[in-house]
Amino acid sequence: MNRYTLTYRSPDRRPALIDGSLLRPDTLCTLDRAALAGTMLPIGRTMVPLSELFDITNPDSSPDSSHPSSDSARHASLTIVSAPPLDRLGANMTHGRLIIEGDAGDDLGASMTGGIIRVAGNAGHRVGGPAVTSRRGMTGGEILIDGNVGDFAGFLMRRGLIAIAGTTGKSPGYRMLAGTIVLRSLCTDQPGLEMQRGTILCLDDVRIGASFIQGGLIAATAMPAMLMLIRRLEQLEWPRDWQRRMITREVAGGSWRLWSGDSLSINKGEVLQWQF
Amino acid sequence: MLINGAIIDDTFAEAFRMWASRLIVTAIDEHWVRVAAAVTCGYGTSVIGCDAEAGVERYLTPDETPDGRPGVSLLLFAFNADGLRKAVPNRVGQCIMTCPTTAVYDGMSDIVAGDEGARIDVGKRLRFFGDGHQKSKQIVDPHSNSARRYWRIPVMDGEFTCEETVGAVKAIGGGNILVCSRDQRSTLEATRRAVDAVAPLPLVITPFPGGIVRSGSKVGARYKGMFASTNDAFCPTLRGRVKSDLHDGVNCVYEIVINGLNTDAIAAATRAAIQAACACDIIAISAGNYGGKLGKFHFKLREVMA
């Protein structure tokens, strides 16, 4: 029993108060259905069982699958449908797949270390940023967003991949330590401000901060690691709108305009804008 | 046993334990893939005198490589994992990193260090060439769903991308056949066809020049310090002076050495080579048999062809 779908059914509750950090595939998908239904979720000052907020379905349900093994959790998949944009979804998750058929709130995938988060809609501020009490953002895993995001996506991220198909708020990659952010759409707010290391790939137009130094035009084939990243996104079928997908062959035919920065920090990061 | 009139000697090819790594090398186009493959596999014929035995397993289409560029799968063999720890980073550093537009990836990413496998540091060592400007990038492997680390070393045409470590496994070296015929030209023609028949097979290489050895060796020598010397029993010019294993009418012998990742792969390659050679006008097929002194893997020709 390692795949669950949770369909939200409580429009009267105050969704802004629901803490989504417990909605993680790596922990919930190891539970049997009864235990999952009884999992208590905090809403403001109260705790309510998960089954009060969500209808639970399991596409794999069978008598044999009622006792999940820890190994099966490696392939855990949790889908959340029709929920309001909950904060801290996928925080600290280590593996598995979290699919959000809708919007996510703030701090999506905070301090996650592995697995994949896929958001069909929009996400809030600090995607992949630090969890409460942590000074580091995500240190592994992949966050794929088909819509727009709020401010400071990738704030303090250390490792991993964030791919955003829509628009971004203030400085995506702000103070990032390392890792990779891919921006599919126009980015007007100076990505990577105060970044230390890491890579921000811009597949559309971008407004670069003044503290970034232009490093020339590099053939895409001269940076095979970037081709691998695009290929990985191609394999993950991101974004869902195939007309907006960048296929490896197409990217390989172009070039990267390179900026190094942030020179106000240690200047070991890079912003690459694809040119064709 | 006769195949198309050619005698299949009642003997066996004697092979021995080796360790192997597989490198996936990509480049901007097929020309540079072939250049990189040729240079990396150069001076990679026999561990008698080379640090590794190397060859092309097969060429890869862009769809089969990690970065979507044309590529090649190379197999490198050494006596043990420590031998690969020296040979692989040296060859990657001197032959691939120096070659325009190339990148190197692990072709055995599922191998973990242990009794049956090892991890060889490649990018982990070569990164220091970047003199502090190197960067690493972790990218999730879709097959294992785990992140693999790649080093990006700045070079004058962009970046040299190299996987941090590559896998190594126990393998087998020294599978072989001897193609025996009347003269140099006809024997060479038959042996080339045999090598061509082995080329598309997976998990094996034929590491010698064009896949063919003319200086087949036996174990030991009369001189101190030599642990291999000419295979005098198959030298036509020594007939009458040493105990010869040549059939009547044989005046030329070429050897195909086959290294592989397992016994089944070598047996399949041996079978394909014999069938192709016997389709030509040859006298006999034999094999390098050193009386059990060389290795524990014995490929009996008649069983392989049965």
Contact A1, A66 (CB under 8 A): yes
> Which amino acid appears at position A106 of this protein?
D
Question: What is the predicted pLDDT for the residue at A62?
Answer: 55
The reply to whether omega before B202 is within 30° of 0 (cis) is: no
Report the C-alpha gap between A18 and A207 in whole angstroms: 36
Inter-chain contact B67–A228, Cβ cutoff 8 Å? yes
DSSP B104: E
Residues of A in contact with B150 (CB under 8 A): 225, 228
Give how far the C-alpha of residue A200 lies from the chain's centroid of Cα atoms, to the nearest Å: 14
pLDDT of residue B156 exceeding 70: yes
pLDDT of residue B141 exceeding 80: yes
Mind listing the pLDDT tens digit for each residue in A122-132?
999 999 999 98
Tens-binned pLDDT, residue by residue, of chain A (276 aa): 579 999 998 766 676 678 899 999 999 999 999 999 999 998 888 888 999 899 999 877 654 444 444 455 457 999 999 899 999 999 999 999 999 999 999 999 999 999 999 999 999 999 999 998 899 999 999 999 999 999 999 999 999 999 999 999 999 999 999 999 999 999 989 999 999 999 999 999 999 999 999 999 999 999 999 999 999 999 999 999 988 888 888 999 999 999 998 999 999 999 999 998
Nearest to A221 among B69, B145, B152 (CB): B69
And the tokens for A73? 């959790």
Contact A6, A83 (CB under 8 A): yes
Question: What is the predicted pLDDT for the residue at B144?
Answer: 77
Question: What is the predicted pLDDT for the residue at A59?
Answer: 76
Question: What is the predicted pLDDT for the residue at A246?
Answer: 87
Question: Looking at residues B66-74, what average pLDDT do you find?
Answer: 96
User: A interface mutation test: which of B102, B135, B149, B157 has the most A CBs within 10 A?
Assistant: B135
Confidence of residue B277 (pLDDT cuts 50, 70, 90): very high
Query: Is A71's Cβ below 8 Å from some Cβ in B?
Result: no
- What number of helices (H) and strands (E) belong to chain B? 6, 17
Percent of chain B with pLDDT over 90: 90
Q: How many Cα neighbours within 13 Å face the side chain of A97?
A: 15
Question: What is the predicted pLDDT for the residue at B176?
Answer: 96
> Which amino acid appears at position A92 of this protein?
N
**Count of other CB atoms within 10 angstroms of residue B157:** 13
pLDDT of residue B62 exceeding 90: yes
Report the C-alpha gap between A42 and A23 in whole angstroms: 11
Nearest to A221 among B101, B137, B147 (CB): B101
Query: Is A245's Cβ below 8 Å from some Cβ in B?
Result: no
And the tokens for B175? 């599978």
Q: How many beta-carbon pairs below 8 A join chains A and B? A: 67
Question: What is the predicted pLDDT for the residue at A65?
Answer: 47
Largest separation between any pair of C-alpha atoms in chain B: 66
Mean pLDDT of chain B: 95
Kindly report the nearest CA distance between residue B262 and chain A, in angstroms.
Answer: 30
Nearest to B138 among A159, A222, A268 (CB): A159
User: A interface mutation test: which of B31, B97, B139, B149 has the most A CBs within 10 A?
Assistant: B139
Question: What is the predicted pLDDT for the residue at A9?
Answer: 86
> Which amino acid appears at position B67 of this protein?
D
Nearest chain A alpha carbon to B157 = A222
Q: Quick one: CA dihedral B286, B289, B294, B296, positive or negative?
A: positive
User: B interface mutation test: which of A159, A228, A238, A255 has the most B CBs within 10 A?
Assistant: A228
- Which one is predicted more confidently, B267 or A72? B267
Contact A209, A189 (CB under 8 A): no
pLDDT of residue B239 exceeding 90: yes
Report the C-alpha gap between B179 and B276 in whole angstroms: 11
Q: Quick one: CA dihedral B106, B108, B109, B113, positive or negative?
A: negative
Question: Looking at residues B20-26, what average pLDDT do you find?
Answer: 97
Residue tagged 């969500």 (tokens): A54
Question: What is the predicted pLDDT for the residue at A74?
Answer: 55
pLDDT of residue B246 exceeding 60: yes
Whole-angstrom CA distances from B128 to A146, B25, B136 are 39, 20, 12
Report the C-alpha gap between A47 and A40 in whole angstroms: 6
- φ, ψ for residue A72, nearest 5 deg: -65, -25
Kindly report the nearest CA distance between residue A19 and chain B, in angstroms.
Answer: 28
Whole-angstrom CA distances from B22 to A122, B168, B209 are 43, 8, 20
